[in-house]
Amino acid sequence: MMTNLADKAVYKARRDRLFEKLPEGSVVLLVGNREQVRNKNITYPFRQDHDFYYLTGYAEPDAVAVLRPNCDQPFILFNQPKDEYQEVWFAGRTGQEGAVALYGADAAYDIAELESRLPTLFGERPYVFYSDELGRFNHRIFDWLACQRKSAKFDEVKSFKHLMNVLPRTQNMRRVKDEHEIGLLRKAVEASVSGHRYLMRLCQPGQTEQALTGEFFNHVSQFGCSDVGYPTIMAAGNNACCLHYSENRDVLQNGQMLLVDAGGDYQYYTADITRTYPVNGKFTPEQRDIYQLVLASLDAAIETVKPGVSWNSMYPAAMSVLAQGLLDLDILSGSFDQVMEQALYKPFTLHKTGHWLGLDVHDVGAYHDDNGNWVTLEPNMVFTIEPGLYFPEHSKSVDPRWRGMGVRLEDDILVTPSGYENLSVGAPRSIGDIESLMAK
């Protein structure tokens, strides 16, 4: 995947923003991913390290970026060289000239030259920020740090270097999306919303979880998604009570509900959307009760979203609706305050209500600030809200009529200057909209 000329400026702007967060005299060493063997000479589809990709846009294996603020060559890329044999058999390569022309590198070298060139590039800069998630160069880094000190003559400056992880800086940057990222997230969500609508029309008793999983992928592919952002959860009936179920091997039965948690990956950005609906297209009274409750809790949580509110405002908003609903349905007993104080809903709600969304489905970036307080929301943050209720068939603590049912609803929310935009609202969520789409 190539970037285009306009994209070069996007990645440069991110590097410049990172530079503003670094002390004077810094150098950043970012190690990209290598191909991983699946079996024998077959590799898994290549996926670039997300922080590397975020700062360079470069998605070929076996590359290292050296970033040096306040320098006439701030972006140096080491990457694979052009190679006729490799390119005939496996994949085209950008090579060094391409790295400069297409990715805006100020200089590019064959990855084989990394060791010999690095000590000079570090120079006397005392702060080395490092990211090497697969640990490829962990065994070499201290030698490199010592190189300048060991090779300097006794009366020259010897630089002692501090080694630090760059990821806390890049990953907190990634919490607030730039316009380019929001554009890609919109594409991923648009494809996925269409995929969810499509599945609602295909869904019927006798269909298989596996076939519907393939149908979703096929559908989002037509929108330019090259993958899904995480294993699709296609969970009929009781399977929905396993939160990250992805076996997807069962046949859909009349009377069950189907939980579909699926998101397309568009140019490295993923959607994360869940809808739950009756396999036969008509909610039973029990399904209706639970579904309405989860939908009300989702809406209550979404309504809290605006800049300045705490990340932790959504969870209690959702839980208080669920708590009251569980009391109303006699699934819980006691007072509302008691249910809230003792979190008596937890055995049925299981998880929190969301996570950052972006390059990673569970996107990176802290949820607390340096003082341990919850982060406050800012415009251009993107996250999911996804309450659920789960009543496994083996559960003895609820009336049998609720058992074997798991309902989760998940939307992708963009914080705007005045509130929020629900990016995934186009995937039907009201009972009326779902039943009428499924009837078609």
DSSP structural state of residue 44? P
Q: How far apart are the first and last CA of the chain?
A: 38
Piece of the chain touching Mn ion by CB under 5 A; list 118-126, 315-323, 343-351, 406-414: 406-414
Which 308-367 residues touch ligand GLY, going by CB under 6 A? 361
Check binding of 272 to ligand GLY (CB under 6 A).
yes
Q: Output the smallest distance, CB 212 to ligand GLY, in A.
A: 16
Q: Determine the Cα–Cα distance for residues 65 and 72; give it in Å rounded to an integer.
A: 15
Q: Which of 13, 19, 53, 6 has the alpha carbon at shortest distance from 364?
A: 53
Check binding of 265 to Mn ion (CB under 5 A).
no
- Kindly determine how many residues on this chain lie close enough to bind ligand GLY according to the rule CB under 6 A: 6
CA angle centred on 85, ends 79 and 91, rounded to 5°: 55
Check binding of 412 to ligand GLY (CB under 6 A).
no
Pull the structure tokens for residue 48: 């670039």
Q: Determine the Cα–Cα distance for residues 258 and 408; give it in Å rounded to an integer.
A: 10
Piece of the chain touching Mn ion by CB under 5 A; list 2-10, 60-68, 213-221, 257-265: 257-265
Residue from 51, 132, 261, 363 binding Mn ion (CB under 5 A): 261
Check binding of 386 to ligand GLY (CB under 6 A).
yes
Amino acid at 121: L
Cβ closest to ligand GLY, residue 217 vs residue 230: 230
Q: Output the smallest distance, CB 235 to Mn ion, in A.
A: 11
Residue 304 phi, psi dihedral angles, 5° rounding:
-80, -10
Cβ closest to ligand GLY, residue 144 vs residue 245: 245
Residue from 384, 388, 428, 429 binding Mn ion (CB under 5 A): 384
Tokens 């008596």, located at residue: 344
Pull the structure tokens for residue 46: 């290549």
Residue from 49, 190, 261, 265 binding ligand GLY (CB under 6 A): 261
Listing DSSP states for 123-188 in one string gives: TT--EEEEE-TT-TTTTTHHHHHHHHHHHS-TTS-----EEEESHHHHHHHTTB--HHHHHHHHHH
Mask 221-260, x = binds ligand GLY (CB under 6 A)? ---------x------------------------------
Q: Determine the Cα–Cα distance for residues 271 and 248; give it in Å rounded to an integer.
A: 20
Cβ closest to ligand GLY, residue 33 vs residue 232: 232
Coil, strand or helix at 340: helix
Tokens 């970012």, located at residue: 30
Mask 270-309, x = binds Mn ion (CB under 5 A)? --x-x-----------------------------------
Q: Output the smallest distance, CB 356 to Mn ion, in A.
A: 10
Return residues touching Mn ion (CB under 5 A). 261, 272, 274, 384, 410
Return residues touching ligand GLY (CB under 6 A). 230, 261, 272, 361, 386, 410
